[in-house]
């Protein structure tokens, strides 16, 4: 099974408004977190593709060894971006058989945790057409959705996405996999200063660590 990862990132000017601070400050954090996520994805052996309309984000993605594509024409929102990225990844890397839709604001993610989640999906999901998801630290959002690369169904990222994915038949890996207790970085997305402090407590990657040190 060959895995690919699709990430979708808003323009820097529109990102992470709940964190407060200047646009430049928030933009720097978004880039740092994406850098750390892509490093973990690459270290886990996945092919990565980033969907973004922002040239600075696309440049960072390319520098990290990921593909980058713009947002889909005529469609808006995270779910459309993920589907567009899935199609674009398959066009570019035909060997990919499974994909993970991954949030880009997981600065404490490690390759070990990501590989563990992929292995749990492979072990626990009984049919080739099935999906699974990793809920975020609150249990209501979705940090990652794992699925066959040719599955056309739309995902359900957004408000209460964990419940929406569960209703759609996706397997809840946090509920089913004992090793999920170790996925603290995979489940710790960052939307607020409190989230960022918790990610720092878990242990963030080098780019986010540098961003934090510059502001301490």
Q: Residues comprising the binding site for phosphoenolpyruvate?
A: 142, 158, 161
Q: How far is CA 64 from CA 8, 31, 59, in A?
A: 15, 11, 9
CA–CA separation, 199 vs 108, rounded Å?
A: 6
The answer to whether 97 touches 148, Cβ cutoff 8 Å, is yes
Find where tokens 């964990």 sit: 162
Which secondary-structure segment (H or E) carries 84?
helix 78-92
Phi, psi of 3 (to 5 degrees): -100, 145
Binding residues: 142, 158, 161
What burial class does residue 84 get, using C-beta atoms within 10 Å of its C-beta: 0-12 exposed, 13-18 middle, 19+ buried?
buried
């Amino acid at each position: 099974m060959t895995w690919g990862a699709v990430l979708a990132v808003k323009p820097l000017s529109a990102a992470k408004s709940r964190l407060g601070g200047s646009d430049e400050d928030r933009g720097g954090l978004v880039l740092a977190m994406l850098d750390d996520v892509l490093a973990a994805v690459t270290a886990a052996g996945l092919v990565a593709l980033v969907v973004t309309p922002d040239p600075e984000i696309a440049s960072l993605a390319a520098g990290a060894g990921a593909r980058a594509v713009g947002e889909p024409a005529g469609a808006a929102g995270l779910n459309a971006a993920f589907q567009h990225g899935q199609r674009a990844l398959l066009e570019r890397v035909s060997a990919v058989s499974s994909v993970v839709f991954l949030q880009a604001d997981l600065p404490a993610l490690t390759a070990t945790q990501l590989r563990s989640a992929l292995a749990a999906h492979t072990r626990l999901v009984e049919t080739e057409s099935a999906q699974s998801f990793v809920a975020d630290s609150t249990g209501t959002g979705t940090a990652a959705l794992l699925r066959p690369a040719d599955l056309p169904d739309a995902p359900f990222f957004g408000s209460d996405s964990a419940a929406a994915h569960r209703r759609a038949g996706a397997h809840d890996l946090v509920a089913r996999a004992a090793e999920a207790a170790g996925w603290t970085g995979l489940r710790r997305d960052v939307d607020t200063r409190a989230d960022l402090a918790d990610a720092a407590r878990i242990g963030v990657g080098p780019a986010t660590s540098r961003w934090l040190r510059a502001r301490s």
